[in-house]
Structure 1
Amino acid sequence: MSKPPSRSALLSTSAASIIVFLAVWELICRAGWIDPIFLPPPSAVFAKAMGMVGEGTLIGNVLASGRRVMIGFLAATAVAIPLGIILGTSTYARAAFDPILSFLRPLPSMSWIPLSLLWFGITETQKYSIVFMGTFAPALVYVIEATRNVDPLLIRAAQNLGANRWQVMKEVILPGSLPQILSGMKVILGLAWTCVISAELVAAREGLGFLIMNGKEFFQTEVVVLGMLLISITVLVTDFVFRVLENRVLRWQR
């Protein structure tokens, strides 16, 4: 059996693929095969990024979107996790809440924008509410399913040893469902970025969605591409941080 590749070799391969991709992109644009108004070369995007960093506007837009994502996401998970555990362990509670969840789950974040504008206006609270409403129902579904997937033998064993309902939820159900919950929350975090960009494209004065829309309005394609790249980079960074936290929280699982 061949020896598996080292981590450094895999990182080198990934870095090389990115460099080749950017080089091909640059050459195609430089050769005139694609009009820069449709797709600017990476060098033009990088130059625009450096100019905006010098102006102090780029970091502000990234931080604005990141703040909205994290506040809306944390608010949604703070409600969804305890509620999902309760619904996942109580048949009557789940039967009572299922019609409401069935109504909320199909609604995309864009559908909440008109109401949120009426309720909150063009404010930060409106952006937080879009992220909350766009992520709450999916997060709740993840938590309910994770809770229901806990081995019932473990629950019965705890009950036979004298554990009450609260102790079973705290010592058995929560630790047993936590790995699946955290995996689901990583997916929900990516969805939160989709929600905030949708909100910023419609009504915002700063943020990556605003940056993309502003670039489109003034035919600055490099700004549009820069905004798209920053979304991907920011999501990768937040996913990395989330993975580090997950490894610390689930250290017992390894």
Structure 2
Amino acid sequence: MNSTTRSKSPSALLILRRARAAKPGQIYGVPGQGDSVLISFLVIIGLIFFWWLFTTLGLIKPLFLPSPQAIVEKFLHIAADGFTGSSLLVHVRISIFRVFSAFFLACVIGIPLGLWMGMSPIARGIFDPPIEFYRPIPPLAYLPLMIIWFGIGEESKILLIFLSVFAPVALGARSGVKSAAIEQIHAAYSFGATRWQVTSQIILPSAMPEIITAMRIGIGFGWTTLVAAEMVAATEGLGYMVLSAAQFLQTSTVIVGIIIIAAIAYTFDFMMRFVERKVVPWKGRT
């Protein structure tokens, strides 16, 4: 028994050392990042193939789902001739401006406010009820109020998107404060650190993983709200393009708009993942 146990110990220790040295997602039996990318690529190719197959065989009518060829042709047509008098680039630029203006304002206001709420019971008591009150309400519910209060210009559209992004960003920053170790905070104060130094050098770095995650979630809500924001008195934008095409049953144009919105949102999320790896490289590691 002792000899058997001793013979197995070195291999067990070797496996343990390799597991500790491995990066997240590279533990034995767990697919790595390269495997996930390959699987995602194959899934996309498979979906497009079945999409082409069903539409080519006539199993799905073009009114409900045009073929991939029709989507590509419609995209090229809109890229060349525009939509309702405006070029595709203008529609994309207007929507990006609306979403990212609201996203920038939500981060500038929401992150400091969320950190303050996490550190101060008074601030949490003041701001938590209104945020939690409006957070579950769909944007379409308070869209009429935005129009009544701020008119039908850009202000109401940007503010509507801002409200959808602000809540997850602020609550994510508030939740991230809990990640800071109380021992580190007490040690910093004992060495004479100011409140600003503790916030900027201990609390903020500890909260960054949850803040970045909240920003990624918030920008997703922003793109979701874009269509609602461009429902009223909008003549340009991807949401307007989708809604206008839907009224005339132009399914191919609707799908083109959806794909463009998804592509822009995915590109920004990919950039946020890159920033996350650079800013908080310790996330997901033990």
Where does residue 20 of structure 1 map in the other structure?
A: 46
1:248 match: 278
Distance change in 2, residues 1:48/1:84 (3 Å): same
- Which of 77, 80, 93 is the matching residue for 2:123? 93
* Inter-partner Cα distance in structure 2 for 1:143 and 1:5: 31
Q: Percent identity?
A: 35
- Which residue, 151, 157, 161 being the options, matches 2:181? 151
User: What is the correspondence of 1:65-80 to structure 2 with a 5 Å cutoff?
Assistant: 65-80=95-110
Moved over 4 A (4+): 1-10, 251-254
- Give 2:144's aligned residue: 114
1:166-185 aligned at under 5 Å gives the runs 166-185=196-215
Greater RCO between the two (CA within 8 Å, min separation 6)? 1
Q: Distance in 2 between matches of 1:35 and 1:218?
A: 16
Question: Quick one: distance in 1 between partners of 2:182 and 2:38?
Answer: 45
Quick one: distance in 2 between partners of 1:149 and 1:252?
A: 13
TM-score by length of 1: 0.91
Provide the C-alpha distance between the structure 2 equivalents of 1:35 and 1:138, rounded to a whole number of angstroms.
40
For residue 246 of structure 1, give the secondary structure of its aligned residue in structure 2.
helix
Of 250, 253, 260, the residue aligned with 1:230 is 260
1:6 CA drift (Å): 6.9
5+ unaligned residues in a row in structure 1: which ranges? none
Hey, what's the Cα distance between the residues in 2 that align with 1:45 and 1:252?
Answer: 42
- Describe the superposition over 1:85-136 as per-residue Cα deviations: whole angstroms up to 9, x where unpaired: 1111111221233332332323322222112212332222221111111121
Match of 1:186 among 207, 216, 221: 216
Distance 2:269 2:189 in 1: 37
The structural deviation recorded for 1:166 is 1.7
Residue matched to 1:195: 225
Other-structure match for 1:239 = 269
Is contact 2:227–2:243 with CA below 8 Å preserved after alignment?
Answer: no
RMSD: 2.2
Deviation per residue, 1:67-91 (Å, 9 max, x gap): 1111001101100111111111111
Return the index of the structure with the highest Cα Rg. 2
Give the deviation of 1:30 after TM superposition.
Answer: 1.5
Report matched runs for 1:106-145 at 5 Å: 106-145=136-175
Q: Which runs of 5+ in 2 are unaligned?
A: 1-26
| In 2, Cα distance between equivalents of 1:7 and 1:137 | 31
Supply the distance in 2 between the matched residues of 1:10 and 1:38 (Cα, whole angstroms): 31
| Residue aligned with 2:122, SS | helix
Does residue 162 in structure 1 map to residue 186 in structure 2? no
